[in-house]
Amino acid sequence: MKSQGHRLGFLLVSASAVAWSLGGLFTRVIHLDSWTMLAWRGLFGALGLAAVMAALRERHIWQSLREMGWRGWLFVIQSSAGMICYLTALTHTSVANVAVIYATAPFLAAGLGWLVLRERPTTSSIIASAVALCGVAFMVGFGQRGGLVGDLLALGMTWSMASTMVIARNYRGIPIMLTACISSLLSGLVAWPFGAPLAVTHAELLLLALFGVVNFAIGLPLFTYGAQRLPAIETALIGAVDAPLAPMWVWLAFSERPTQATLIGGTIVFAAVAVHLLMGESVAAV
């Protein structure tokens, strides 16, 4: 039987995957370079998270900031690096390459989870992850060529996200909202000098604000709280539904029908996650 904490973790990570899958739709609608999008998305995300903390009447923020320690700052840096690498990778290699490389996240998370937390992944987790990887590979195909720089950035993003899952799982004392807010702000500040953030129109600014709120103020806290309640490999596996969801939003918004490969591959990913969650056993009771 799955514990209540495990089920809550599943729901939170699933919701974060939905929020992050909208990133492809925003990049499709906003016709700006990746650095400009990163800059504004990070700043608006930080503002959104600050508003959430104010609404929840979070106290002792400065004390938490002083007591974060190196683990908290490591979480901030890892999370920021992952978001920066993701959008930058899309401008240097194909979407297919990024999706296939990110689909290896469950295996990286499993390895890190075993090394750091001594969590031994179940057979069902490993099989489901392998099936999900096959589904993503089938969905995007291997016919497109990408650049080495973009592929390395995608690998860096994947490693960063796997590390973030393990950190969130192992160190539950990290102030989630605060670290997410700093992470969002840091990514925006790093990207600011490389783009043209002051040249955007009012309409673009509104879309960028929505992008920041959905990706950071909603997606990141949901993911982090959920990752604390799940083994790292399961967190990565559930996050794999991002790949088939992203083209679905574009289809609904622009009537761009997905290819048959996308539909088949997406079905394989969803089936792998569903079967594992229904039949697999949790690595550790939460």
Q: Which pLDDT tens digits describe the chain residue by residue (286 residues)?
A: 456 777 888 888 889 888 888 877 887 788 888 899 999 999 999 999 888 788 766 666 767 777 777 777 888 888 888 888 877 877 777 665 676 677 677 667 777 777 776 767 677 777 777 777 777 677 666 545 556 777 788 788 888 877 877 776 676 667 777 888 888 899 999 999 999 999 999 999 999 999 999 887 888 788 878 877 877 667 777 777 776 777 778 777 776 666 677 677 767 777 777 776 666 544 433 4
> What's this model's pTM, rounded to 2 decimal places?
0.71
Look up residue 106 and give its amino acid.
P
Would you call 69 helix, strand, or coil by DSSP? helix
146: its two tokens: 């990408």
Closest among 10, 35, 3 to 191, alpha carbons compared:
35
CA distance 161 to 109: 8
**Could you tell me what percentage of the chain is helix, strand and coil, using 3-state DSSP and rounding each to the nearest 5?**
80, 0, 20
Domain boundaries, the chain: 4-279
State whether the Cα torsion 121-106-129-211 is positive or negative: positive
